[in-house]
Structure 1
Amino acid sequence: MRRTLVLTAVASLALTALAAATAAAGAFLLRDLGPLPPRFSGPPLPRETVVSEMTSILSAEGIAVEREPSGVLGRCHERLSGRHAPETVDAAMKAALARARSEYGWQTGPDTGGASVTLTKNNWTALATFASDPAPGLQAPVIVSLICVDGDDASTAPTAPSAPALTPAPAPS
């Protein structure tokens, strides 16, 4: 009986110490670190500016692309696509990406691995995909996806009509 009491007391003491350590660790993890940093730096860029800039960067390297309709109003996503000679498409894309960094202020984005490169500028991310081997006699596809960090481009997105205010019905008399 005495042995059981001692074991119970030791176990109780160990559980109390474990609970105190967990509370201290939890308090450390849940401390207030202040506001989150901004998701992007610089002023937000309008959709038309980014599309025009990226189109001219690619055009300067001989890559002709067309803007595809986004299909979803209010969504902040654009896609530029075109075709280029397969022998020079990789060199032209690398030169275009270098031009975007050096002349237009785009920064290298996160590494996505594989055959794509990510660039960022203010609230936009550009994902350029390098061409795979096209079928003989065909030009290589070129695709650049532009995505707004905020998920919405307020400067060019249509504004939704405001809903009428709801008023409570008068109480029956």
Structure 2
Amino acid sequence: MAHWPTVRRTERADTIVRRQQGREALASLVMAVMMTATATACGTALQDLGPLPPRFSGPPLPADTVVSEMTSALAAEGVTVTRQPSDTLGRCSERLSGRHAPDTVDSALKSAFARARSEYGWQAGPDLGSGTLTLTKGNWTVLASFPAPEPAQGIQAMVVMSLTCLEAGGSTTTSPAPTPTPRT
């Protein structure tokens, strides 16, 4: 009986090892099932659908054209705006601002955006909420927010319109190319 404690320890060790092997086998089986299910579920999502469509179609529009079209559409509705100088060198963004009668400014902006769509080919932009109007054309997006509900008595409502270019080619402000220095 001297070997009885040694046998019990060996049996316990065997039991522990078998349990660990069983857990590892079960974990491996679960992982294999999950990987198979994931591969099956994602199989259609991983298909090659070809190249991504371009961000805009056609040649990039120059900023002067975009500003001219939006200024004309607004002027036709009685909203006079001026072009603010762009202080972002190398980025294509423009800003138009002006003032209009507070009681008709919302309808004038809506009509101007409708005119830009019908006369100049602008498309409705992404929906950013009820207080914002957006248009897109080529590589440009136009954004205008409705002014505050009630400006102070006798003051016209402020109209601000932001025009942003998606890719280079639309900016009118360019920095001069560096002049190479001769080597001596």
- Pair 26,163 (structure 1): closer, same or farther in 2 beyond 3 Å: farther
Structure 2: any 5+ residue segments left out of the alignment? 1-14
2:139 pairs, out of 102, 113, 123, with: 123
- Pair 162,19 (structure 1): closer, same or farther in 2 beyond 3 Å: farther
SS in 2 for 1:33: coil
Deviation at 1:7, TM superposition (A): 4.1
SS in 2 for 1:127: strand
**C-alpha distance in 2 between matches for 1:74 and 1:8:** 60
Q: What aligned pairs does 1:36-75 form with structure 2 within 5 A after superposition? A: 36-75=52-91
2:159 pairs, out of 139, 142, 145, with: 142
Deviation at 1:149, TM superposition (A): 1.3
1:93 pairs, out of 109, 114, 124, with: 109
- The aligned amino acid for 1:147 is T
**C-alpha distance in 2 between matches for 1:8 and 1:63:** 74
Answer yes or no: is the 8 Å Cα contact 2:142–2:163 preserved in 1: yes
TM-score, normalising length: structure 1: 0.81
Answer yes or no: is the 8 Å Cα contact 2:90–2:173 preserved in 1: yes
TM-score, normalising length: structure 2: 0.77
- Greater C-alpha Rg: 2
Corresponding pairs, count: 163
- The aligned amino acid for 2:146 is F
Answer yes or no: is the 8 Å Cα contact 1:74–1:153 preserved in 2: no
Answer yes or no: is the 8 Å Cα contact 2:79–2:108 preserved in 1: yes
Query: Percent identity, aligned pairs only?
Result: 59
**C-alpha distance in 1 between matches for 2:140 and 2:36:** 46
1:156 pairs, out of 168, 172, 184, with: 172
Encode CA deviations 1:75-115: one digit per residue, 9 max, x unaligned: 11000000011121112111111101111111111000041
SS in 2 for 1:102: helix
SS in 2 for 1:71: coil
SS in 2 for 1:110: coil
Answer yes or no: is the 8 Å Cα contact 2:91–2:171 preserved in 1: no
**C-alpha distance in 1 between matches for 2:132 and 2:145:** 4
Cα RMSD after superposing both structures: 2.5
1:80 pairs, out of 96, 106, 128, with: 96
